[in-house]
Chains A and B, each alone.
Chain A
Amino acid sequence: MIEASEVRLSHFQSMLLFALVISIAFGFLSRRRPLDRVKYILWSLFLFLVIGIGIGWAMYPFSK
């Protein structure tokens, strides 16, 4: 068994990490040149965060 300390993240930290990791993977898989990869990663990360936060705000009225 591998003993590992439990990871505790807030909602935002979880979303940020998820978006960052997935953006990096997509960037490397879909683009060849380093500059194109960086652009894709940043754009994808931005969209992940904007859409994620946007959906969060859109759901806010129904959470009560």
Chain B
Amino acid sequence: MPGGASTTDARVADPSVFAPARPAKQADGMQNQSKAFAIAVAGWLVPGLGHALLKMWGRAVACFLTVGVLVFLGAGMRGNIFNSSGVDAFDRLGYAADLGTGCFYFFARAMESQGPDVSHANGDYGTRFLATAGILNLLAALHAFEAARGHKA
């Protein structure tokens, strides 16, 4: 059809016809990135919240319970909860891992009123449980981030 062909030709000849669409798409992408980032931060602060915001209820409950059980057991076994005044790299790494549990970090500190006891195997296991809880929660937050970006999850 001559009319249709001429319209297409005009668009091909003048790329500015498509120009308004690109900023809108970029803004949409930025908004999605910001939303995904906010979901990841929410998932880090409260285990499972990131997935709950995406309406992935099973994963949300699983994340909350698994991280919660690990923190409860770790603190109950009197594992070492690292703080910001670490003296070496391992302490700082342990602190980063423990912080991964988000708000459960403060729960663990409140629960472990007698302080850590790593003179027994139980306390040593507890330290690992706490660190694993943190890393697992960070993994879950990353998973929620990817899911929010629309990647296969």
Query: Does any Cβ of A come within 8 Å of B82's Cβ?
Result: no
Within 8 Å by CB of A7, from B73, B107, B136, lies B73
Q: A9-B122, A29-B59 are in contact. Are A22 and B132 (CB under 8 A)?
A: yes
Distance in Å from the Cβ of A22 to the closest Cβ of chain B?
A: 7
Contacts of A22 on B, CB cut-off 8 Å? 66, 132, 136
**Does more than half of chain B's interface fall in helix, strand or loop, or is it mixed?**
helix
B110, A2: Cβ atoms closer than 8 Å:
yes
B123: nearest residue on chain A (CB-CB)? Answer: A6
Within 8 Å by CB of A11, from B62, B78, B121, B129, lies B121
Which residues of A are at the interface with B, using a C-beta cutoff of 8 A?
Answer: 1-9, 11, 14, 17-18, 21-22, 24-25, 28-29
Given A18-B132, A22-B136, 16 other A-B contacts at CB below 8 A? A4-B72, A4-B75, A4-B76, A4-B111, A6-B114, A7-B76, A7-B77, A9-B77, A11-B121, A14-B125, A22-B66, A25-B62, A25-B63, A25-B136, A29-B59, A29-B139
Question: Can you list 27 A-B contacts (CB < 8 A)?
Answer: A1-B110, A1-B113, A2-B111, A3-B113, A4-B76, A4-B111, A6-B78, A8-B122, A9-B73, A9-B77, A9-B122, A11-B121, A14-B77, A14-B121, A14-B122, A18-B132, A21-B69, A22-B132, A24-B66, A25-B67, A28-B58, A28-B59, A28-B62, A29-B62, A29-B139, A29-B140, A29-B143
